[in-house]
Amino acid sequence: MYRDYTQTPLGLNMKIFAYKRINSPLEIGNRSIKILVFFSLFFNVARNWCLVIEREWYCLGGARPVR
């Protein structure tokens, strides 16, 4: 029932990623924390952004649409 996915490119990338993760878990953790902080800041800023798509207002988050 077990397949060897390491011969496919995706499997090879996963293998390399797992190897790097075993070698440097702290680096991976710091990178993921940086990405999380960046996305939280980005969404806090973008919560009040409004986009105009096809003459319709789409407000991200809890902002009210302005017409």
Place 1 in a pLDDT band, splitting at 50, 70 and 90. Answer: very low
Residue 14 has pLDDT above 50, yes or no: yes
What pLDDT, on a 0 to 100 scale, did the predictor assign at position 32? 75
Task: Indicate the range of 4-8, 10-14, 45-49, 58-62 predicted with least confidence.
Answer: 4-8
DSSP character at residue 2: -
CA distance 20 to 17: 5
Tokens (6 digits) for 21: 């993760």
Tokens (6 digits) for 2: 């077990």
Q: How confident is the model over 46-67, as pLDDT tens digits?
A: 555 666 666 676 665 555 555 5
Q: Report, as an integer, the average pLDDT of 23-27.
A: 59
CA distance 63 to 47: 7
